């Protein structure tokens, strides 16, 4: 596990400076922040896994398209912790003053970029394959992103800024659907993985927590 965190920190140093101008010192600090066992803030540029609270599956994607709906890259819930396709980079809404290392307040619009394929967590009005709810997919790329990639963060409870292991909801800006999963599983191309979709009602099944990952340190305000 420690080797995995080191590898992710190296990845951050080599590839995540395009949006923010990451410094070597910030990247070198990242792996330590992920393993100290203290209260950790989620900041822009951090690479995280989102765990579905009720089922403990991780938000996951891979270069496999849906066979229905949009035909875009599929998003699922994955049962195993050790899978590199479950890492997501936390990015700000374009055009804001947010920078790498900034904390993220409840109510903020964020984007989640799939680390392996570089596509964005996305939703729209297509029907999800199993339940017929709102489809959640991955779409676009480094230079291609639209409002279908925008998710508003809501922290459950009294917290004001997003922290590791804190209960959150993500509401899709365009459709109003909450990022949702349940124990309905795929049987063929993603056998054993469960459906991720959007639903417009607040339910117990649309609560998530930031779990494993590389958390970049908070940028000090000068």
List pLDDT tens digits, range 140-179: 999 999 999 999 999 998 889 999 999 999 999 999 999 9
- 184 and 77 in contact (C-beta within 8 Å)? no
List pLDDT tens digits, range 54-92: 999 999 999 999 989 899 999 999 999 989 999 999 999
- Report the percent of the chain where pLDDT is more than 70: 82
Whole-number pLDDT of residue 181? 97
What's the rounded mean pLDDT across residues 196-207?
Answer: 96
List pLDDT tens digits, range 110-134: 999 999 999 999 999 999 999 999 9
The set of residues, in sequence order, having a beta carbon less than 8 Å from that of 92 and lying 6+ positions away, is 44, 98, 99, 102, 110, 111
Q: In the structure encoding, which two tokens stand for residue 165, read together?
A: 């292991």
d(Cα 24, Cα 138) in Å, to the nearest integer? 29
Whole-number pLDDT of residue 205? 94
Candidates 87, 50, 48; CA nearest to 178 is 50
d(Cα 174, Cα 159) in Å, to the nearest integer? 25
Whole-number pLDDT of residue 158? 85
- State the DSSP code for 82: -
- Regarding beta strands 208-214 and 47-52, do their DSSP bridges make them parallel or antiparallel, or are they unpaired? antiparallel
Whole-number pLDDT of residue 39? 85
- 89 and 115 in contact (C-beta within 8 Å)? yes
d(Cα 166, Cα 156) in Å, to the nearest integer? 8
**Within the chain, how many helices (H) and strands (E) appear?**
3, 12
- 85 and 61 in contact (C-beta within 8 Å)? yes
Where does the pLDDT of residue 189 fall: very low under 50, low under 70, confident under 90, or very high at 90 and above?
low
Where does the pLDDT of residue 8 fall: very low under 50, low under 70, confident under 90, or very high at 90 and above?
low
What integer best gives the mean pLDDT of the chain?
86
More confident residue, 6 or 193: 193
**Angle between helical axes of 24-33 and 2-15 (0-180°, round to 10):** 160
Distances (CA, A) of 49 to 95, 146, 187, 200, 213: 25, 23, 24, 23, 6
List pLDDT tens digits, range 26-49: 443 454 344 455 789 999 999 999
Candidates 206, 165, 172, 164; CA nearest to 55 is 206
Whole-number pLDDT of residue 222? 54
Whole-number pLDDT of residue 36? 53
């Amino acid at each position: 596990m420690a080797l995995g965190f080191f590898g992710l920190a190296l990845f951050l140093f080599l590839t995540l400076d395009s949006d923010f101008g990451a410094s070597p010192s910030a990247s070198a600090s990242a792996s330590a922040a992920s393993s100290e066992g203290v209260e950790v803030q989620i900041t822009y540029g951090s690479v995280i896994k989102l765990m579905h609270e009720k089922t403990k599956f991780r938000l996951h994607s891979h270069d496999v398209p849906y066979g229905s709906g949009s035909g875009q890259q599929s998003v699922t819930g994955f049962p195993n912790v050790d899978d590199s396709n479950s890492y997501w980079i936390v990015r700000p809404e374009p055009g804001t003053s947010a920078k790498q290392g900034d904390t993220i307040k409840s109510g903020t619009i964020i984007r989640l970029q799939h680390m392996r394929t570089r596509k964005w967590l996305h939703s729209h009005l297509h029907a999800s394959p199993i339940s017929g709810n709102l489809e959640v997919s991955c779409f676009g790329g480094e230079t291609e992103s639209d409002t279908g990639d925008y998710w508003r963060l809501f922290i459950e409870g009294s917290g004001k800024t997003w922290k590791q292991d804190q209960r959150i909801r993500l509401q899709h800006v365009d459709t109003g659907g909450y990022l949702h999963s349940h124990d309905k599983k795929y049987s063929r191309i993603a056998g054993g993985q469960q459906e991720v979709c959007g639903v417009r009602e607040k339910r117990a099944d649309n609560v998530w927590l930031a779990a494993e990952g590389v958390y970049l340190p908070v940028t000090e305000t000068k």
